[in-house]
Amino acid sequence: MSFNEYLQQRFEGTEGTEELRDITRHGLSGGVSGFIYSSELSDLYDRYEDEIEQTLDDYEVKLHDLVDSEQFYSVQMLKEQSVWFFVEAWADVEYERREEEVALAA
């Protein structure tokens, strides 16, 4: 299963679309189930590392761009921020796609 497929399942239905709207407006920093704890973020990064890195490349984002250079950061922090970047970028595209589908159906 790809990260895209995982996210499609995680954010399916009306509730999932509402969560996507919240992510597009506020990001993941407010807390979204499944993307809060360091351990779950690390697991997601390890499982989908290739897709995450490809997306970072597509957006021309380097790992050091994801963290505040004034603060100490760890590999774990880089993993967390990479997952958040991927999910937030995916949510923006997916939410817009779903909104377009609703508009076309109306």
Find all residues with CB under 8 Å of 81, minimum gap 6, and list them: 66, 67
- Mean pLDDT, to the nearest integer, of 57-69? 87
Which of 93-96's residues contact partners 24+ apart within 8 Å by CB, and which partners?
94/7, 94/8, 94/11, 94/20, 95/17, 95/20, 95/21, 95/23, 95/24
Contact 3, 51 (CB under 8 A): yes
What is the pTM for the complete model shown?
0.91
- Mean pLDDT, to the nearest integer, of 13-31? 93
Per-residue confidence (pLDDT) for residue 102, from 0 to 100? 81
Per-residue confidence (pLDDT) for residue 30, from 0 to 100? 83
